[in-house]
Amino acid sequence: MELLNLIQEQLLKSADITSVIANRLYIGEMATLKGVQFPCINIELNPGALIEKLPGYAEHYFRMWVWGKTRDSSDGVYGAVMSEYHNMTITADDLSVRANINEVSRPIYNYDPTVESYFLMARWRAFLITI
C-alpha cells in the first residue's frame, strides 16, 4: 500500500477530524484537483523525498495543508491531526510506517482569496521500516 494511502486511511479514521472535514482529504497538488470542497485536508509528497538511510529503512517527507473557511476551523482540524498522529506508527501488510509522522516544521498560516479560505501548511516526515 502506498504511503499516502496509508496516511489518508488513518486520518479518516479519526472522528475528531471527519466530524469537520467528512471524507474531504485530497491527495496531490490542490490547484490541479477538481470539485474541491472546504473544509478539507490536502497532502502531497515532496518530489524526490524518499531518503534511504539503511537497507529496509527510509525517510519520506510530505506537506499537509488544512483548509477552512475560518482560521479557527483550520486550527481545530490541525490540532486534531497533531494530537492523534504526531509520533504514531501505522502498519499495513509488510510495511510499517513509523509515522513518527512527526511535524518537521511549524504550520505557516495564510489566506487564499481565490477560494476564500484560510489554510495552514506544515512539513511532515514518515519513517519507513520494512519488517
> pLDDT per residue over 67-81, tens digit each?
999 999 899 889 888
119 three-state secondary structure: strand
- Do the domain assignments include residue 42? yes
In a 10 Å sphere around its CB, with 0-12 CB exposed, 13-18 middle and 19+ buried, how is residue 42 labelled?
Answer: buried
- Do the domain assignments include residue 130? no
Q: What is the pLDDT of residues 88-99, one digit of tens each?
A: 777 665 555 555
- Do the domain assignments include residue 73? yes
The domain total for the chain is: 1
Q: What percent of the chain has pLDDT over 90?
A: 24
- Do the domain assignments include residue 72? yes
Name the H helices within the chain: 3-11, 15-21, 71-85
- Do the domain assignments include residue 96? no
- What contacts 44, CB < 8 A, 6 or more positions away? 27, 28, 29, 30, 62, 63
- Structural domain that includes position 81: 3-48+61-88+103-123
- Do the domain assignments include residue 95? no
- Do the domain assignments include residue 118? yes
- Provide Rg for the chain, Cα atoms: 15
Write down the pTM of the prediction: 0.81
